[in-house]
Structure 1
Amino acid sequence: MALDDPKTLVSTDWLAAHLRDPDLRILDASWFMPGSDRDAKAGYAGAHIPGARFFDIDEISDTRSPLPHMAPPPEKFISRMRAMGVGDGHQVVIYDQTGVFSAPRVWWLFRLMGKTDVAVLDGGLPKWQAEGREIEDLPPYVRDRHITVQRQAGLVRDVTQVAHASKLRDHEIVDARGHARFTGEQAEPRPGLRAGHIPNSKNLPFGELQNADGTMKSPEEIRAAFEAAGVDLGKPVITSCGSGISAAILALGLEMIGHRAWSLYDGSWAEWGMYNDLKVATGEA
């Protein structure tokens, strides 16, 4: 896969060259961990890539669920995208204020809704600004745009499906959290959750797929990282993490290496760690 693939990952050079394309839509999908002193909306208001709209991951979600930012019903996604002027025929590029952290979550959400002309900006806003590229602090002019969706149920897994996969071992479950959280040595940042991991899952911290500057590693390096984590790429893969954000980084990596049989556990550890009737493993995988 070439770096500039408008269905997965594009460079800052690619975005700069296409910035004025009439059918390009740019989304700032920044999100920060609970307890962080960073405010994603304030960051967007202060500086964003020209024309970018802010995608609020917590609001554009299933707010009826007790779990954080679960995927919204298609009707809500349609409503929010129309209001943001994002619709059929658009090439969407998603970035975040960290580098590549929360943007892949929204890339996955578009994929879940059947939209494939969507890419993550490699290196995100930090790389864009480090290169001295144009930014603005004005809200974009937005016109309502029709959008159709077709939910791709195969790209998401619920707790029952993950429990079956854990027991049968017919999928690889890969956890993107840091190693100490995976082994249970570090407490979870969300109160009330047990520490540890899903039985028979593997650990591949999302940072292992990234370079020091926050860009994604090459497909060859990403494949090697999955293999080094003991992941059998001959099996379908379910990605997981704390609340379904960084799991999407692993999903993006799988797509980059051409491994199409992947899905994301939307509830992730925020759900699994909450239910005492679900088994929890600790220590090494």
Structure 2
Amino acid sequence: MTAIQDVTTIVSVNWLYEHINNDNIVVLDATLSKATERGRHKLNDYIPGTRFFDIKDTFSDGNAPFPNTMISAKEFETAARELGINTNSTIVVYDVYGIYSSARAWYMFRSMGHENIAVLNGGLPAWNANHYLTEEYKEYKGKKGNLEVKYNDAFFKDYNYLLKNLMEVNKIIIDARSTDRFKGHVPEPRPGLRKGHIPNSENIPYGNLLEKGFLKDKESLQAIFEAYKNKDELIFSCGSGVTACILALGAEISGIKNYSVYDGSWTEWGSLGQLPLQRD
């Protein structure tokens, strides 16, 4: 079949079902277990042809002190090529929750200059709800890819950047954690973290962008980000850099382009006692 030249930021399961056999389609499962959960779904429940994008053990820096830390461009390129990903690949990425860590994979590829990637709206639950075929996982044994990455470091920010910009009224830090976690009303799921939030940051829980596992429509997302559309920069944070990327996905679809992700997020900020915090 013919190759797909480009995809939108998000695609439906119907779209994937119709295009899954196109020459350059690569389907990735980027499921990452939530901090409160363990394990993955059953091993015979994958979209056909899936290759596993292992955020935890392959596409994160295992030597970093905090989880899900971005790896180097060279490491990313090498690991992606092992999955058979080419420069002209059209990637569709999903997870087992609907939309969760798939957004992180989407954001990582875009930071590496690969724009031809879309998140599967509704993920595996939506695929199964349509009674589309699934299969047991088969480790990818095919030809190595030729992906060439061009890393853009503007996609990720560190805590020093945030510290320098805490008082900047046109650079807004937005936290994707739940409101109770943001306000410091409940303990963090990771032991040893302080409760609270980055000073002057604002809160949009990532669940506000979702409805029954699907990303809300463009108009709803635009309404959520309306107050921020004229800001110089939005910096998204969360627990460990995963759900911040759901905010990035929503911002992108709503038409906002001036955003980045704080990679260390609250796992880093809440661990470093010298950094200021607020509680409500």
TM-score normalised by structure 1 residue count: 0.92
Letter of the 1:195 partner, please give it: K
Q: Is the 8 A contact 2:225 2:254 kept in 1?
A: no
**Partner residue in 2 for 1:111:** 110
Residue aligning to 2:173: 173
Q: What corresponds to 1:121 in structure 2? A: 120
1:247 aligns with 2:244: yes
Is the 8 Å Cα contact of residues 10 and 121 (structure 2) preserved in structure 1? Answer: yes
CA contact (8 A) 1:157 1:266 kept: yes
Q: Which residue among 254, 271, 276 is the counterpart of 2:273?
A: 276
Task: Decide which moves more: 218-227 or 16-25.
Answer: 218-227
Alignment of 1:17-32 (within 5 A): 17-32=18-33
Q: CA deviation at 1:167?
A: 2.7
Question: How far did 1:142 drift?
Answer: 2.2
Pair 1:98–1:245, CA change in 2 (3 A) = same
Once the two structures are superposed, residues 205-258 of structure 1 have per-residue CA deviations (whole angstroms, 9 ceiling, x without a partner) of 0110111x211111110121234xxx4221110000000000000000000011
Residue type of the alignment partner of 2:229 = L
Q: Does 1:52 align with 2:50?
A: yes
Q: Is the 8 A contact 1:44 1:54 kept in 2?
A: no
1:94 and 1:261 map into 2 onto residues whose CA distance is: 23
Q: How does 1:110-259 map onto structure 2 within 5 Å? A: 110-139=109-138, 140-211=140-211, 213-227=212-226, 231-235=227-231, 236-259=233-256
Q: Which runs of 4+ in 1 moved over 6 A?
A: none
Superposition RMSD in Å: 1.3
Q: What is the one-letter code of the residue matched to 1:233?
A: K
Q: For residues 270 and 103 of structure 2, what CA distance do their matches in structure 1 show? A: 23
Deviation at 1:138, TM superposition (A): 4.0
Residue-by-residue CA offset, 1:36-89 (whole Å, 9 max, x unaligned): 13x23xx26321001111111111111221110111101111111111111210
Residue number in structure 1 paired with 2:98? 99
- Paired AA for residue 266 in structure 2: W
* Contact 1:7–1:116 (Cα < 8 Å) also in 2: no
Q: Alignment identity in percent?
A: 38
Kindly provide the amino acid, as one letter, of the partner of residue 188 in structure 1: E
Aligned residues: 272
